[in-house]
Amino acid sequence: MEAENQGETSSMQSGVSDGSFPDVTSSVAQVKKLLLRRMLVGISDGRFFLGTFYCLDKQGNIILQDTVEYRSTRRSSPSPMEQRNLGLILIPSSCRISCHVDCSIEEQLSILSLQERK
C-alpha cells in the first residue's frame, strides 16, 4: 500500500514537471505578465479601485498595492467622485464586476485570447 502511494506521488510530481497541464502553465504565464501593472477594478457596490496588481490567488481574489478607492458622492459637491488612499487591499472575486489593465493593444489582445480558451 505504501509503495503504491509513493508511485502515485512520483507520477503526480512528474506530471507537473513534464508539462501535462499546458493550460495551467499558460494561464500562470499570462497572469505573470500582469504583475506590477496598473489595474482598475470595479466592484458590485459601485466603487472602483486603482492600484498596482500584486497577486491573484487560486480563488480569484485580487490583491492590489498602492491602491486608491474611488466612489460616487451623492451629496452636491464640486467633484462627483470621492477618493481615498488605501494601500494594500484584497478584492474578493465574488464582489468584482470589472477589471481593466493598463497595457498595450497587443498585450490586451493576448489577454483576450486567454479568456476565449476557457
Please identify, in words, the CATH class of the domain defined by 38-102. mainly beta
Transcribe 79-94 into DSSP letters: -SEEEEEEEEEEE-TT
pLDDT at 12 over 50: no
Would you list the domain boundaries of the chain?
38-102
pLDDT at 81 over 60: yes
**41 or 33: which carries more pLDDT confidence?**
41
Q: What is the C-alpha end-to-end distance of the chain, expressed in Å?
A: 38
pTM summary value: 0.67
What's the pLDDT at 77? 63
Contacts 24+ apart (CB under 8 A), 5-10: none
What's the pLDDT at 21? 61
Residue type present at position 78? P
